[in-house]
Amino acid sequence: MFQVNDHFGRLQGSYLFSEIARRVNEYTGENPDREIIRLGIGDVTRPLAPAVLQAIDKATQEMADEKTFMGYGPEQGYEFLRAAIREGDYAARGVDIGLDEIFVSDGSKCDTGNIQELLSPDCKIGVTNPVYPVYVDTNVMAGRSGEFDAQTGQFSEITYIPTTAENDFVPALPQRRVDVMYLCSPNNPTGTAMTKDQLKVWVDWANETGALILFDGAYERFITDGDVPHSIYEIEGAKTCAIEFRSFSKTAGFTGTRCAYTVVPKELMGQDSKGNKVSMNALWLRRHTTKFNGVSYIVQRGAAAIYTAEGKKQVEQNIEAYLANARMILDGLREIGITAYGGVNSPYVWLKTPDGMASWDFFDKLLKEANVVGTPGSGFGSAGEGYFRLTAFNTKENTEKAISRLANLK
């Protein structure tokens, strides 16, 4: 009989958000009359911007005419979208990124998982703790994790760097060998962000040690503080040590439409088992063109519309609405005596559970007594225990209701 990949057997329980969905479905099945307010999974509620819809409609009509019909496109993305990304997200901030360094995809979750295919099985992985589960789980699947220790809640071969209130949510440099470090700023789940000086420490470390930084910038559009970089490439030296992931999901409402991109600079070099330098850009191009047929033309036209004058304005209105919800959550929690962080440069608010309550216990209490869904901090790693994540992606009305219900909790 054929054998399966044993590494999958090391994965711990259900994927976090699948477990949340299971518990919510079980509760709503038993209580169909209850109004559930979801501040858990980071899905958006505001519709696509009118400029995006107009571009999608026009592209759809083009598909109905044999003269303008589009079949297979370039796997790395149409030039019109990559050019818009280069100008709107990088050149506008004084960063020079080439068209052939931008790879359009169907989601940064996919890219952050798939990128590890370029890495040797022997690479040592580092993550912040708490951490977006995909970073860990995809490396477990690839065999880099080692064994799981139930007492610590960690894998033996992964380096976990605490990012908690005790260190102001700024991860310290690792004290043991790390070849690949995942950084996310603004951070999911804590909602906090690294300043340019703080990120420069990591860039310098990576260049000195030969490590690779995988930088998840999915929430950069929510940044409001001037000393928080929107791209790691704003930091001198980052092009020789970092790959950046960006997404249109939260920033422009593409969670159901699917579009994102990854930047792999040509200056970025790894090495093979013989010590020869290897272009990471060339490897990712090979992987991308081999395993991916590209994002649909229609969706890419919609994504490009984000960078038009009207598109920028409309998307910014959505961002401002979500940030207003985040401020409402943050202020509301603090008013009722709950310690909370984030919510300024991010759509996430990270709170300490009252009276040291376990994260999943607080989840159940919130669901059953307030009919509000959040995300248990322990689902993001051992350092997330005792914390809880709320998102700002619901409507203003539902956010107000949720805070009111929280205030009435015993």
pLDDT of residue 410 exceeding 80:
no
Q: Which tens digit of pLDDT belongs to each residue from 15-34?
A: 678 888 899 999 999 999 99
- Residue list, annotated binding site for substrate: 15, 42, 109, 132, 188, 293, 389
Q: Do residues 395 and 142 make contact, with C-beta atoms less than 8 angstroms apart?
A: no
Report the C-alpha gap between 219 and 342 in whole angstroms.
12
Domain boundaries of the chain, sorted by first residue: 8-46+311-408, 54-308
pLDDT of residue 14: 66
pLDDT of residue 50 exceeding 90:
yes
Q: How confident is the model at residue 41 (pLDDT cuts 50, 70, 90)?
A: confident
- Residue list, annotated binding site for pyridoxal 5'-phosphate: 72, 108-109, 132, 188, 219, 247-249, 258, 293
Q: Which tens digit of pLDDT belongs to each residue from 223-257?
A: 999 999 999 999 999 999 999 999 999 989 999 99
Token readout for 38 is: 């979801």
Q: What is the CATH architecture assignment of 8-46+311-408?
A: Alpha-Beta Complex (3.90)
Domains 8-46+311-408 and 54-308 share a fold: no
Report the C-alpha gap between 353 and 314 in whole angstroms.
36
Q: Which of 198, 202, 196, 156 is nearest to 180 (CA)?
A: 202
- Residue list, annotated binding site: 15, 42, 72, 108-109, 132, 188, 219, 247-249, 258, 293, 389
Q: Which of 206, 204, 200 is nearest to 179 (CA)?
A: 206
Q: Does domain 54-308 have CATH number 1.10.580.10?
A: no
Cα dihedral 64→67→72→74 (10° resolution) = -130
Q: Do residues 199 and 185 make contact, with C-beta atoms less than 8 angstroms apart?
A: yes
Q: Do residues 173 and 201 make contact, with C-beta atoms less than 8 angstroms apart?
A: yes
Q: Which tens digit of pLDDT belongs to each residue from 328-367?
A: 999 999 999 999 999 999 999 999 999 999 999 999 999 9
Q: Which of 98, 378, 405, 395 is nearest to 233 (CA)?
A: 98
Q: Which tens digit of pLDDT belongs to each residue from 91-136?
A: 999 999 999 999 999 999 999 999 999 999 999 999 999 999 999 9
